[in-house]
Amino acid sequence: MEKVDYTGNVPQARFGHTITYISKGKAILFGGATGDTGRFQITGDTYSFDIQTRIWKKIETNGNQPSPRAAHAATGLEINQMVVYGGATGGGSLASDDLYLLDLRGMDDIGMWKVVPVVGQTPGRRYGHTVTYSKPFLVVFGGNTGQEAVNDCWFLNVEKSPFAWQKIEPKNESPRVRVYHSGTLCNQGSANGMVVMFGGRSNDQSALNDTWGLRRHRDGRWDWVKAPYRSERELPVGRYQHSSLFLGKLLLIIGGRTNNVGEQLGLEIYDTETSEWSRFNSIQRFRHGSWAVDNFIYVYGGFELESPNIPTDVIMKINLLKSISSNGDLLMKIINTLKQSSPNNSVINDISNQQKKTKTLKINKYKIKIHIYLLILFIQFINKYNQFFIDLAHQNQIIQIIRLQQLHLVIKQTQYQQIIRISHDPNSIHNIMIQHLLQPKSYINLPENAPFRFSSENIIQLCDMAEEIIKNQPIVLRVFIYQFLFRFGFSDECNQRLGEDPSDEDSVFNRVNRLFEYLPLATIIEDKIICLHGGIGGSLHYIQEIENLQRPLEVVHEVNTPEHQLIVDILWSDPTDSDQELGIQANVIRDPAGTGNIVKYGPDRVNQFLQNNGLSMILRAHECVMDGFERFAGGKLITVFSATDYCGRHKNAGAVLILKNNFEIIPKLIYPTSEAQHNWIEDEEQLKKRPPTPPRWKNNSIRKSFD
């Protein structure tokens, strides 16, 4: 376990709050009670905690705000949305039975509270209950009505309007009445889709240790299933005011207390496949909040056993793999679960092979390095082919070594002398390829399915050389501009033009993609303009967050970590359809399944990001725009797209942006030819699997959210 240091607008120490992990890398704190014995004060403030930057922010909220409360329940819904229900307001009073929605899809530190309009009967006022989201149902269970503990259960379909609570009337055995229990959702294994309840305090004040799963059948019936315990194994200690989480098929019970004052409680883990419990030493907290990221559990607030009357504001991080290292079987289950969700996660792979020598990667966040290899090749290219760049060379006198030294960039004599020898070799693969590319007449009129000029071995050799250079570069470049290419469609090109099997691990397709995992993700020009492929999405707030990423990058669509989400946002997020659409919106075109991983970001997000980093503009690509370029956020973001007549479908123009010394941007348009030429490989099967993305002007502004 380790204490997490943090900065920012730090909330007061509290207990009885909720902290909800609502998006990749962000947890939202709401309510709770502050102060010490005899002077507790119920709060209704809202804070966000950024996992990567470790910064607290006070969220300014508007709308119909919930009253201050503690012992309430909260859960996340769609990306950057959460709901709050119930709670106690102090002096024996209870909060209303309204269901509150907090919408944080706008600016990073501004939220909107709404009361969800509900018809019919509600679960009623209560505290110490649970709210769990099993899409599309919100489930409320148990708690105390102010008169007694209860065991009733209610659900609400968030996708069916008008919204209405419905009471579940199970025909089989149900859990005992209870308060201060925990509830969480299982997403794997035999308990997949079950809302799982553990522990709590019954009406006779006893601490419970039973586990129940609530499931919904296809015919709409709900029923309870009591989890079996293997009697010959260690049983869990009854507890209440704890928290619980699922990691794959494993239920984790964190903290809590019993009726024995000061009793030490371990971390209890229940395997839903084997019905076995295991116990490990852990943090001693109750009335706290917790969330999980990869193999780490974060615990905030509540009381410690040593000071049961004074709440703490400490965040503790538990490395689950270290905590359970004594149990080899359970350790491997957790590692395998993490590997399934992040198959290329280098951190998990390193932990699973702890006997191997590990490498510690330290990234200097502010030191700027430009590898001399790129400079030498560029100088050679300009000198040899300067007839193509006369105007550019006269204007700027590109790349002077003395200028680099003035910028405190380190150049190693032995390093660039060796590279000069390589670059002057006329038989080197990069020189041969450049020579070929500078003779467009030799390939401009080739038939559409013509084999590629270079062999697979040539391309792999070029990738090997490039990777040795690129992997030593910073992940945020200063000076040079590049575009991170989309891998989709590339496999078809490799298959047809190189005659290879893209699924072969040694294919050009896979080698190029491994190389791309080392490519920088961003370019910053003179500390004024940032160039990204997609944009900033909902998770990118500071350039430092990009610099903290470790390579090779893991580019996946099934997002499981804050790092995954950050990469997906940088590569594949898009601006909203107009300057009038603010915040974070669903991206229906690129995320038809509604996972919330690929989003659209509004002009307010653009302005906030530029302000946070002292920048003036974002240049990005990723979307086909009909005129080749398009302004957004009042001109503070420009989309540029160079492919004319994209996929032979849209007749769009392409564009190139020229950035002058005074930062004036001049667009140069490239119009599609009027002749009917087939410049795209067209495979109807592939087009069915992934049809060409429509241009921005054809995108429908469809929202998929719980309003």
List the CATH number of the domain containing 523. 3.60.21.10
Q: Angle CA(412)–CA(416)–CA(420) in degrees, nearest 5? A: 170
Round to whole Å and give the CA distance between 19 and 102: 13
In a domain, 447, yes or no: no
Cα–Cα distances in Å, from 546 out to 188, 501, 519, 569, 636? Answer: 31, 34, 12, 11, 20
In a domain, 109, yes or no: yes
Number of separate domains in the chain: 2
Residue 4: pLDDT over 70: yes
Residue 204: pLDDT over 60: yes
User: pLDDT > 70: what percent of the chain?
Assistant: 76
Identity at 346, one-letter amino acid code:
S
Q: Which of 293, 321, 352 is the last residue of a domain?
A: 352
Task: Tell which wins on pLDDT, 288 or 506.
Answer: 288
Residue 139: pLDDT over 70: yes
Q: Average of pLDDT values for 332-357?
A: 61
Round to whole Å and give the CA distance between 311 and 285: 10
Q: Which of 580-584, 611-615, 702-706 bottoms out in mean pLDDT, i.e. has the lowest?
A: 702-706
Q: How much is the pLDDT for 475?
A: 63
Query: 53-75: per-residue pLDDT in tens?
Result: 899 999 999 999 999 999 999 99
Round to whole Å and give the CA distance between 149 and 271: 29
Q: Are 562 and 573 in contact (CB under 8 A)?
A: no
Q: Which of 318, 165, 149, 153 is nearest to 243 (CA)?
A: 318
In a domain, 384, yes or no: no
Q: How much is the pLDDT for 384?
A: 46
Same-domain pairing of 336 and 480: no
Residue 427: pLDDT over 80: no
User: pLDDT > 90: what percent of the chain?
Assistant: 40
Q: Average of pLDDT values for 272-299?
A: 93
> DSSP for 489-510?
THHHHHHHHH---TTSTTSHHH
The H or E element spanning position 468 is: helix 456-470
Q: Which of 352, 379, 402 is the last residue of a domain?
A: 352
> DSSP for 518-569?
TS-SEEEETTTEEE-SS--TTT---HHHHHT--SS----SS--SHHHHHHHH
Same-domain pairing of 106 and 248: yes
Task: Tell which wins on pLDDT, 356 or 568.
Answer: 568
Q: Average of pLDDT values for 336-348?
A: 63
In a domain, 703, yes or no: no
Q: Which of 352, 385, 413 is the last residue of a domain?
A: 352
Q: Residue-wise over 135-167: b if at least 16 C-beta within 10 A, else e?
A: eebbbbbbbbbeeebbbbbbbbebeeeebebee
Q: How much is the pLDDT for 342?
A: 58
Which CATH number do you get for residue 182?
2.120.10.80
Identity at 681, one-letter amino acid code:
I
Q: Which of 303, 320, 321 is nearest to 312 (CA)?
A: 303
In a domain, 15, yes or no: yes
pLDDT band at 547 (very low <50, low <70, confident <90, very high): confident
pLDDT band at 693 (very low <50, low <70, confident <90, very high): low
In a domain, 277, yes or no: yes
Kindly state the DSSP code that residue 207 receives in the 8-state scheme.
B
In a domain, 456, yes or no: no
Residue 580: pLDDT over 50: yes
Q: Which of 169-173, 440-444, 542-546 bottoms out in mean pLDDT, i.e. has the lowest?
A: 440-444
Identity at 305, one-letter amino acid code:
L
Domain holding 601, by residue range, is 474-484+519-698
Mean pLDDT score of the chain, rounded to an integer?
Answer: 80
* Structure-block tokens of residue 119: 């018809």
Query: 617-646: per-residue pLDDT in tens?
Result: 999 998 888 888 889 998 899 999 888 777
Round to whole Å and give the CA distance between 280 and 262: 17
Query: 358-401: per-residue pLDDT in tens?
Result: 333 333 333 333 333 344 444 444 444 444 333 333 333 333 33
In a domain, 288, yes or no: yes
Residue 182: pLDDT over 70: yes
Of the chain, the end-to-end C-alpha distance in Å amounts to 39
Q: Which of 194, 323, 297 is nearest to 249 (CA)?
A: 194
Q: Which of 609, 593, 591 is nearest to 601 (CA)?
A: 609
Query: 218-254: per-residue pLDDT in tens?
Result: 889 999 999 999 866 679 999 999 999 999 999 999 9
Residue 323: pLDDT over 80: yes
| Most confident of the following: 130-144, 430-444, 651-665 | 130-144
Q: Which of 229-243, 282-296, 470-484 bottoms out in mean pLDDT, i.e. has the lowest?
A: 470-484
Q: Which of 248, 160, 176, 261 is nearest to 212 (CA)?
A: 176
Q: How much is the pLDDT for 368?
A: 31
Task: Tell which wins on pLDDT, 475 or 605.
Answer: 605
Residue 560: pLDDT over 80: no
Identity at 395, one-letter amino acid code:
Q
Round to whole Å and give the CA distance between 115 and 50: 26
pLDDT band at 700 (very low <50, low <70, confident <90, very high): very low
Q: Average of pLDDT values for 313-333?
A: 89
Query: 584-625: per-residue pLDDT in tens?
Result: 888 888 877 777 888 999 999 999 999 989 899 999 998 888
Identity at 553, one-letter amino acid code:
L
